Structure 1
Amino acid sequence: MAVFAHLNIHAQSLSKNDTLKIDNKNGLEFPVDYSADDSVILDLPNKTVYLFGNAKIHYGEINLDAGFIIVNFENKDIIAKPFYDSIGSPIHLPHFSDGKDQFTADSMKYNFSTKKALVYNTRTVQGEGFVFGEKTYKDAQNNTYVKHARYTTCNDSINPHFYIYAKKFKVIPNKQLVTGPANLLIAGINTPLFIPFGFFPLQKGQKRGIIFPTYGETQDRGFYLRNFGYYLPLGKYFDLSSTADFYFRGSFGIHINSNYAKRYKFRGNFAFDFNHNKFGEAENGISISDDYSIKWNYSMDAKAHPGQFFNASLNYKSPNYNRNNTFQQQTIAQSTIQSTINYRTSFFNNNFNISTGARVTQNLSTEMVDLSFPELNLNVPRITPFANLNIKNQTIKNIGFSYNMDLKNSLLMKQYNLTPTLGFEKNIAGIKLLDSLQSSIVHAIPISASFKLFKYFQLNPFFNYNEFWYFRTKTLSWDTIGDSLTTSIKNEFNRGYMFSSGISLSTQIFGLAQFKKGKIQAIRHVLIPSVSFDISPNFETKTNGFYFTQTDTSGKIEKLSKYTGTGSAIPSGNKRAAVGFNIGNNLEMKWRKNTDTGLVVKKIKIIETFNISGSYNFIADSFNLSNINFNGNSSVFNGKVRVNYSCNVDPYKYTSRRINQYHKLGRIVSAGISMSTNLNPQAQRKKTSSYATEQELNLINSFPQNFIDFNIPWSLQLSYNLSYSHTNPTLAKDLRQSFTFNGDIKLSQFWKIGFASGYDFKTKDIALTKIDFYRDLHCWEFSLGWIPVGFMRSYDFTIRVKSSTLQDLKLTRRNFWFDN
């Protein structure tokens, strides 16, 4: 026997010693390196090595370290155990790694030749989860068979808050984990969730699996299970989730969602929803509504084809979809939805741009669909043809022009015409849909220049020319026999045009007041006045031929444009020679403040913007002065409260109608003020996490309202809106006033309560009110949402596993009551 410290002996070198000679046929594939901090004992007769204290073994890709290791070169076995301190606690548990696979155990036995192992009380990382086993057997293919096993994704690997327990596990590393009959335990307590067998994918990245439902109750459809389904990754770039909703009163829904993305190439998603809704009860009558929604989004990455841009957004719904299947007030009130497809590219060093696309606007209230296809835009950015000429006059050098062309085709139809027959038939009025096709081309050439005047003024002369190409004209005439207005349409090419010219002048005036004493150090006022003059002729004259007159039986003469209804702008009939003005204001203050580190000067914005604007048309027949507009915004109380305000004043009198006489101070037509604040600025801080990807952090920081932050003791957002409208003094004034608030309070370390409500002062109704309870269970999240009043009265209950990202940030996903 001999004792050595920090000894490294290769198995091949031992073969030179007769007493430790290893048969070449049964020799080891790699040399065995071993060491120990305390001592190494070689038992030569039994071909055994004993390693004490921080013992280490290295064999190929296999590494083993433990408090105590026994190596037997006769049968090629390794036995690893921990050391124990004076009170019997284990020190330096065996840790085994084979390539990327590794585990920790109380004790283990491994054979170099068969590559099999027997491990007791193992703890191993599999995918994003942890496997605990009382007794584990490892075969030559690196598969493990675990007895009395637990599996969890909780990153508290010592005392997990939840786990799935089964008597037997089979683990195929980096592929899958299979169990026999299993049970879910939370906080060590058995739950009713039993499964006859379990299958858990362990691959990194996307993983297939069951999507567990949300439970709750709604007033009109009863108890429900929502979003129960399955998630399936489809290769590197696609995935698919299929979920269903089940309501106890017979309603159901089917939802299919797919996301796709390829780095530097494209990304997008597709969603299809179908809902069969039953409302009411048998004794009062049941109404049935089948609703559907289709959404598709695609965007090409800017790096895929530099200089080109392509995206598509399809959004199509049945007329009653929003009303029956979404519970967000803004969505229910939404009357129009739009789908677009756009492609854009550039030529000649970005000196010529072209874009094309299609657009569909769907009105859910009128069930009308406005289809615009194709849309084409050609654009030449501003060109300064004289900039490089050898001339001294800067005014001429600054003259520039651009060109823009818009082509548009649009078709208006009833929604039901679009679905079965693409709409090429008679619409509801009996007129063929193709007869309502509107086509036009608009050309625009703006010419402008910019230069300094007397050093402090900016002068900008301009000339705008617009030309309209039409492919059909319309004539209206009075049918004296039928006593009605008849319309005749002629398919022919026509052109119209209009032009205007003008000049604008602007400057900045700075006012500064400084104070040597007091807390106010200085006040600065920036006045930004601008004045403009523009002129355009009357294009309603007979010489232009853009308008015609029509006389009814009473002799009333009306002037109409023959291009009305062509889908394009028409030459204006209002001659104009007007002066416009705008007065911009900015007011700031510097404030002295004493702190522990000395005197600090702080800048405070009193008025960020305040504008007054209007115009006066010298050659108008009446009402020469336009309405005067006031608008601005400010931040008060050290920037905590944001204030926006506006006012529109009509300078003319109004008796039974508006008359061409000035009102003394003008009449307020409309006005409004809105204020909002977040009383806890900590809620606006950006979140960081070592567990999160950049995409996950962007989602959290972009939509903080979707999460409950347990790091913040409380948050409160307040919003107040007041609007006034009195366009027609003969009618009643419209005064609207509302107050809304939402926030959350941390009741304890792991409990928070969220709330949202408000009040409409006009209708004297309480706004949508919801109370949410949140429980942070570390690796789990629990929420209970309750809407106590209103036609959306309901509650929902959710408990689910959190991602490691949310565990690190201590965020809980807010379960909105309108989530489906």
Structure 2
Amino acid sequence: MNLKLLIFLFLLAVYINLSAQVNIEDTTQFVYSDTLSVLDSASADTLQQVSPRTDVDDVVTAIATDSLTFDVRNKKMNIYGSGELKYKQTDLKSGKILVDFPTNELEAFGIIDTSDTTGQKLVQTPELTEAGDTYQGTSIKYNFKTQRGFISLAKNETEGQTYSGQRVKKVDKDIYFIEDGIYTTCGGDEPVTYFSAKKMKVIHKDKVIAQWIFMYIGGVPVPVPIPFAVFPAESGRRSGIIAPSYGQIGDRGWYFRNFGYFLAISDYMDLAVTGDYYTRGGWGTRSRFRYAKRYNFSGNVNASYSVIKTGDDSDPSRTEQIDWNLSLFHNQQFDPNTRLDVNLQFQSSTYLTNNSVSYNDLLQKDIISNATLNKRWDNGTSMTVNYSRRQNLQSGDIFEILPNINYNVPVIYPFRPKHSTSRDQNWYELIGVNYSGQLMNQRDKVDGNLNIRGGIQHKASVKASPKVGYFNLTPSINYTEKWYNKKIEKFRAPEFITDTTGVVTDTTYSDEERDIKEINFVRTFDFSLSAQTKIYGMFNINGLGIEALRHTITPTISYNYRPDFSEDKFGYYSEYIDRNGNLVRYDQYQREVFSGVSSGEQQQINLSVGNIFEIKTMKDPTDTTSKQQKIQLLNLNASLGYNVAADSLKLSDLRLSYRTQVGDLLSFSGSSSYTFYDFREGTKVNEFLVDKGKGLFRMTNLNFSISTNLSGDKISGETRRSGFGIEEESDFAAFNKTDYIGLYDEVPSDFSIPWNLNLNYNFSLNKPTPDESTIRSTIGASLSVSLTQAWKLTFRGNYDFQANEITAPQVTIFRDLDCWEMNFTWNPLGTWRGFRFEIRMKAPELRDIKVTKSRDIFSGR
């Protein structure tokens, strides 16, 4: 490990900002003024000097708590005791300040602490603040005209970076030379890690340059010095070389990764390009282009290409895999009513497995892409244009919809006066009409076969909502029209069996289908009538902190009529003789994007009952700020249907759904269904269970989930997080706040919550027949514990009760090492078992100083 660290430090010196090899030799000398004229004006505590005939062209303010003297003849001033001198953007505080106006020079010293018996301790040491930057030292000699000077035992801290030295010389407005300098991003008077050099040059808010620099860790120097190093001192985004990381991955060999260049093109865009190299021949390249304009648009384009080679050249099992990825993200608000959101991802099926270290990426089975343009007009009309794509990473199948256009017109009341405000409206004024249209083109590629289908759908409805007594009635007439350019034709295809002489000896048949390309219109309609009311029940409790329990019942009954569109007079169905000689009737539009039409007349009566149970809490009599609260205990719904027109099995399944939330402690939800009919030989028959003495109904499906999230009280004070990321100082939006180049996103660890436990249990039972059932039950857990203010342990995993195995367990250990941090991730089981260890500096400027070790963390590598 020591050898690896030395190699890495050498690479750091070679690659970090090679263009910044600046000469740090000091050749600049002081230039002194020879004249100074002042006006004589003094007071006990404050002195202000202004003269239009001198090099001092602004107000000089001097303050002292002990004494302040001014020699008019020699134009010199002495300030003693918590002195302060202000001139333009320069502010000097010190126990003793000597100012020589003819030479524009000043000297500042600390004063001896009288309480110190040794007489060596100084107090009120000089502190020079210039343009917002503060420098501390034991003594300062400074020319406030040329802004050049010396500081002994100086120290400066700017935006988390500290540099100090035995002697600091300022030779220009933004240039400092430091003798026996120390640079660190660690806090405190004794930093854990720092860089020490005999000569150091600081260019303010640009860079720190050093020759023959030693790195100290815990006060112990790394044996081999770095010939030179350049540390960035800029804030926000900046161009520069991205230092690489190195390590070893299983059968790929040693790697040299993420080496590249970051280009801050402007305040509105940047570009990062990186590359990887593996000793067994593999390589890869990545690029990210980002752009943003605040309150208008933002986005990025990512592209990557990699060649994965496993095994040695002489290994007959050596493999080569090419992976690629292209993604585009764009968000733009054109105006308050028009917005575009784009999230497109295209990649090879094995890209995530071979190139990602994200746990969630490796469990992902589908790649989803979406692009949506939304437009809304002032009258409520809206239009949505959407593109969607789903790629299955296991099968390689692709399902695309391009485009999917939806146009919606809000409800129009044609018989209502334009400016009607009366609540007592006539029944005909309640009649509303609405319309929606949709155009869809679907493109699927399954098993290498391309299938393209499209269509246009129109929907119009006329409905009203009059109130009759305690009931809300809703009659409606719905009309749907679908336009297709294809339909299917099914037929029986013969297959002839011949002998060796070519004579047909037998004939077999297979069921086939083909597309018929022609314009077709599918028109359907239905009528419905529903009635709904609410029934309230109140139970006064006035005990146990509960004032009352309320039960709300919402019964709904509806009737829906739809003709049998499979009849010949509509022309939507056809028939053929199948391979077994049976006459089969089929829907000619069943493959189309909006599907076809259902068979059979429907006169459906539906009944549903909704139940809500709530409690109202009492006020705390001892707390004048307490308030009554309404808490929902249970939401229970039941539904049942009866089809009058069906020739059998008229009664539908009984369906129940339930949901409850016990504060933030427990969440429970589920559903179940029950059939009233008997089964015979695996088929539902038109005989009720109750008639066969088998009970009223039989459960066919049950599923529920229980989850809880528990955590300890949040620790007061400032949240302690790991050092990943700083905020950008540009017009970039929130996505720029993740890190200073945006390539290696990390989730910071939060130590403010001592522990957090998330548990979830899922159960499902599917029982379509009395003799057939499928059960699946799993429990998942995620536990995060802050062992101390520096140690954090996280565990997550799932247990499958049917398979009797733990799935996808992961253990993560995080250690905050002041200005360093350590991450260890271990996947003990499963396809991606292995580990990854990393220790790195937290400061964004030095985060590429790290040591990483991983071994067979994913089997695909």
Common fold: TM-score over 0.5: yes
- Please tell me whether residue 309 in structure 1 is matched to residue 339 in structure 2: yes
Match of 1:379 among 380, 383, 408: 408
Instruction: Tell me how far 1:794 sits from its aligned partner.
Output: 1.7
Match of 1:343 among 373, 377, 382: 373
Cα distance in 2 for residues equivalent to 1:601 and 1:36: 57
Cα deviation, 1:437-462, whole Å, max 9, x if unaligned, reads 322110011222223221x3222222
One-letter amino acid of the counterpart of residue 403, structure 1: Y
- Please tell me whether residue 774 in structure 1 is matched to residue 789 in structure 2: no
Match of 1:795 among 835, 841, 849: 835
8 Å CA contact retained: 1:122, 1:135:
yes
Cα distance in 1 for residues equivalent to 2:357 and 2:801: 23
Moved more, 94-103 or 240-249: 240-249
Cα distance in 1 for residues equivalent to 2:241 and 2:634: 52
Cα deviation, 1:483-541, whole Å, max 9, x if unaligned, reads 34454544322211111111222222222222355665432222222221111111111
Unmatched 5+ stretches in structure 2: 1-39, 497-508, 690-694, 740-744, 845-856
Moved more, 785-794 or 70-79: 785-794
8 Å CA contact retained: 1:530, 1:583:
yes
Match of 1:712 among 746, 749, 753: 753
Q: Secondary structure at 2:480's aligned position in 1? A: strand
8 Å CA contact retained: 1:362, 1:369:
yes
- Please tell me whether residue 295 in structure 1 is matched to residue 295 in structure 2: no
Q: Equivalent residues in 2 for 1:6-405 (5 A)?
A: 6-10=45-49, 12=51, 27-44=55-72, 46-86=74-114, 87=116, 88-154=120-186, 156=187, 158-191=189-222, 195-209=226-240, 227=258, 229-244=260-275, 251-279=282-310, 285-300=317-332, 302=333, 304-326=334-356, 331-332=361-362, 334-347=364-377, 349-388=378-417, 393-405=425-437
Moved more, 308-317 or 91-100: 91-100
Match of 1:620 among 643, 646, 651: 646
**TM-score, normalised to structure 2's length?**
0.81
Cα distance in 1 for residues equivalent to 2:140 and 2:486: 89
Moved more, 49-58 or 747-756: 747-756
Instruction: Tell me how far 1:176 sits from its aligned partner.
Output: 2.8
- Please tell me whether residue 476 in structure 1 is matched to residue 508 in structure 2: no
Moved more, 309-318 or 212-221: 212-221
One-letter amino acid of the counterpart of residue 787, structure 2: L
Change in CA separation of 1:109 and 1:509 when aligned onto 2, cut-off 3 Å: same
Instruction: Tell me how far 1:256 sits from its aligned partner.
Output: 2.6
Change in CA separation of 1:249 and 1:635 when aligned onto 2, cut-off 3 Å: farther
- Please tell me whether residue 649 in structure 1 is matched to residue 674 in structure 2: yes
Q: In the alignment, which residue of structure 2 is the partner of 1:466?
A: 480
Cα distance in 2 for residues equivalent to 1:410 and 1:356: 14
Q: Secondary structure at 1:471's aligned position in 2? A: strand
- Please tell me whether residue 528 in structure 1 is matched to residue 554 in structure 2: yes
Match of 2:535 among 492, 509, 521: 509
8 Å CA contact retained: 1:218, 1:795:
no
Cα distance in 1 for residues equivalent to 2:328 and 2:281: 29
8 Å CA contact retained: 2:41, 2:48:
no
Q: In the alignment, which residue of structure 2 is the partner of 1:418?
A: none
8 Å CA contact retained: 1:123, 1:132:
yes
Cα deviation, 1:465-499, whole Å, max 9, x if unaligned, reads 11011123333333457634454544322211111
Instruction: Tell me how far 1:576 sits from its aligned partner.
Output: 1.0
- Please tell me whether residue 726 in structure 1 is matched to residue 767 in structure 2: yes
Q: In the alignment, which residue of structure 1 is the partner of 2:505?
A: none
One-letter amino acid of the counterpart of residue 401, structure 2: S
Change in CA separation of 1:529 and 1:114 when aligned onto 2, cut-off 3 Å: same
Change in CA separation of 1:350 and 1:67 when aligned onto 2, cut-off 3 Å: farther
Cα distance in 2 for residues equivalent to 1:673 and 1:273: 42
- Please tell me whether residue 757 in structure 1 is matched to residue 797 in structure 2: yes
Cα distance in 2 for residues equivalent to 1:574 and 1:695: 55
Instruction: Tell me how far 1:399 sits from its aligned partner.
Output: 1.6
Cα deviation, 1:403-427, whole Å, max 9, x if unaligned, reads 1111122233369xxxxxxxxxxxx
Q: In the alignment, which residue of structure 2 is the partner of 1:747?
A: 787
Change in CA separation of 1:713 and 1:499 when aligned onto 2, cut-off 3 Å: same
Unmatched 5+ stretches in structure 1: 14-23, 416-427, 805-816
Change in CA separation of 1:129 and 1:609 when aligned onto 2, cut-off 3 Å: same
Cα distance in 1 for residues equivalent to 2:282 and 2:175: 46
One-letter amino acid of the counterpart of residue 671, structure 1: L
Q: In the alignment, which residue of structure 1 is the partner of 2:826?
A: 786
One-letter amino acid of the counterpart of residue 86, structure 2: H
Change in CA separation of 1:370 and 1:518 when aligned onto 2, cut-off 3 Å: closer
Q: Secondary structure at 1:493's aligned position in 2? A: strand
Q: Secondary structure at 1:496's aligned position in 2? A: strand
Cα distance in 2 for residues equivalent to 1:463 and 1:184: 81
8 Å CA contact retained: 1:394, 1:451:
no
8 Å CA contact retained: 1:252, 1:276:
yes
One-letter amino acid of the counterpart of residue 443, structure 1: H
One-letter amino acid of the counterpart of residue 310, structure 1: L
Instruction: Tell me how far 1:335 sits from its aligned partner.
Output: 3.8
Q: In the alignment, which residue of structure 2 is the partner of 1:661?
A: 687
Cα distance in 1 for residues equivalent to 2:248 and 2:737: 33
Cα deviation, 1:69-113, whole Å, max 9, x if unaligned, reads 101123221101223322243333322233344423322111134
Q: Secondary structure at 1:767's aligned position in 2? A: strand
Instruction: Tell me how far 1:318 sits from its aligned partner.
Output: 0.9
One-letter amino acid of the counterpart of residue 349, structure 2: P
Cα deviation, 1:287-308, whole Å, max 9, x if unaligned, reads 33222222111010x3x42321
Cα deviation, 1:784-807, whole Å, max 9, x if unaligned, reads 222233332222222334469xxx
One-letter amino acid of the counterpart of residue 466, structure 1: T
Q: Secondary structure at 2:376's aligned position in 1? A: strand
Cα distance in 2 for residues equivalent to 1:445 and 1:648: 33
CA RMSD, Structure 1 to Structure 2 (Å): 3.8
Instruction: Tell me how far 1:609 sits from its aligned partner.
Output: 1.5
8 Å CA contact retained: 1:217, 1:794:
no
One-letter amino acid of the counterpart of residue 642, structure 1: S
8 Å CA contact retained: 1:588, 1:603:
no
Q: Secondary structure at 1:469's aligned position in 2? A: strand
Moved more, 336-345 or 680-689: 680-689
Q: In the alignment, which residue of structure 1 is the partner of 2:455?
A: 440
8 Å CA contact retained: 2:711, 2:754:
no
8 Å CA contact retained: 2:705, 2:761:
yes
Instruction: Tell me how far 1:217 sits from its aligned partner.
Output: 6.6
Cα distance in 1 for residues equivalent to 2:777 and 2:624: 45
Q: In the alignment, which residue of structure 2 is the partner of 1:567?
A: 593
Number of aligned residue pairs: give it: 772
